Amino acid sequence: MELSKGNSFELTGLPRDVLEVVLYYVYSQSLPLELTTEVASRCIDLTPSFLTNEFPDMCREFIHRTSLKHSEFFIDDQGSSDGIYERTVLLNFLICLFRNHTTGQ
């Protein structure tokens, strides 16, 4: 892990949850498994100056991946779903047809 230039740094004033994540990151260069998107967002806002951009970037990536896991489809900034929603609806329709066909309904 690289730290920003300078020999000293200060961790005072950080909320406990952010401090725990920062210390975990400094020690392991990864994010804790129990991290939530709310804490990750606070970590981005309150990133200590001695950390390089890798830490807030990891937090942003965590938030992005978590939001994708919890959504049915992803819509980009231009409002395009890249056909994911349409394909999901079609797939669900085909599964229903297959189930009805195999059960004789």
Render 16-85 in DSSP notation, one character per residue.
Answer: HHHHHHHHHHHHHSS--TT--HHHHHHHHHT--TTB-THHHHHHHHHHHHHHHHTSSS---TTS--TTHH
* Same-domain pairing of 65 and 18: yes
> Do 53 and 28 share a domain, yes or no?
yes
Q: How far is CA 83 from CA 19, 72, 92, in A?
A: 41, 12, 14
What range defines the domain where residue 13 resides? 1-70
Same domain for 13 and 62? yes
User: pTM higher than 0.75, yes or no?
Assistant: no
Report percent pLDDT > 90 for the chain.
34
Share above pLDDT 70 across residues of the chain, in percent, rounded to a whole number: 61
Mean pLDDT, residues 60-85 taken together: 66
> For residue 53, how many other CB atoms are within 10 A of its CB?
11
CA-CA distance, 95 to 5, in Å (whole number)?
57
Q: Looking at the 3D structure of the chain, how many domains does it have?
A: 2
Q: Does 38 or 67 have the greater pLDDT score? A: 38
